[in-house]
Amino acid sequence: MPYEFKTERRVEFADTDMAGIMHYSNFFRYMETAEHGFYRSLGYSVVMNQFDPPVAWPRVHAECDYFKPLKFEDLVEIQLLIKEKRSKTLTFCFRFWKLGQSPAIEVARGLLTVVCVTHQPDGSMNAAKIPQALAEQLEVAPQELLE
């Protein structure tokens, strides 16, 4: 499914804080790990040197809504969904599902907007069109999965 990717992760001790729950900043690390796993599932690394010129994906916006805490050793599924696809940017939605009970509980939901860039010889970056071979593999998720 080119609009979705799922990966699992178990909350580690170092992910927690003294409140006994996963630190809120680590949800953003988990999102990125899902994003990169998604690229790998399509045959790419986020370091996309197979394109000429190579492209990179700086983040321009990130957000997260927290519904329930995650605790040490909780098993969580991170569901990546493509929410928006423009010529130069992608917006991913991430739904965090705590597993281990039925049905799984959505504990958080995030958004991440990344922009496709190429590097200039002087080191600066320019927004660039998403390479066509990649763009053709990406599809916006059905609206009902995003609600």
Please give the positions annotated as active site: 17
Binding status of residue 56 toward a second copy by CB under 8 A = yes
Asked if 97 and 32 count as a contact pair (C-beta separation under 8 A), the reply is: no
Beta bridge partners of 119: 125
Neighbours of 127 (CB within 10 A): 13
Positions 68 through 87 that interact with a second copy (CB under 8 A): 69, 71-73
- Ramachandran category for residue 68: left, alpha or beta (phi over 0 → left; psi -120 to 50 → alpha): beta
CA distance 125 to 113: 17
Binding status of residue 121 toward a second copy by CB under 8 A = no
Taking the complex as a whole, how short is the minimal distance between the CB of residue 147 and a second copy, in angstroms? 18
Asked if 34 and 94 count as a contact pair (C-beta separation under 8 A), the reply is: yes
Binding status of residue 128 toward a second copy by CB under 8 A = no
Binding status of residue 45 toward a second copy by CB under 8 A = yes
Work out which of 1, 20, 52, 144 binds a second copy, going by CB under 8 A. 20
Residues that bind a second copy (CB under 8 A): 12-14, 16-21, 23-26, 28-29, 32-33, 36, 40, 45-47, 56, 58-66, 69, 71-73
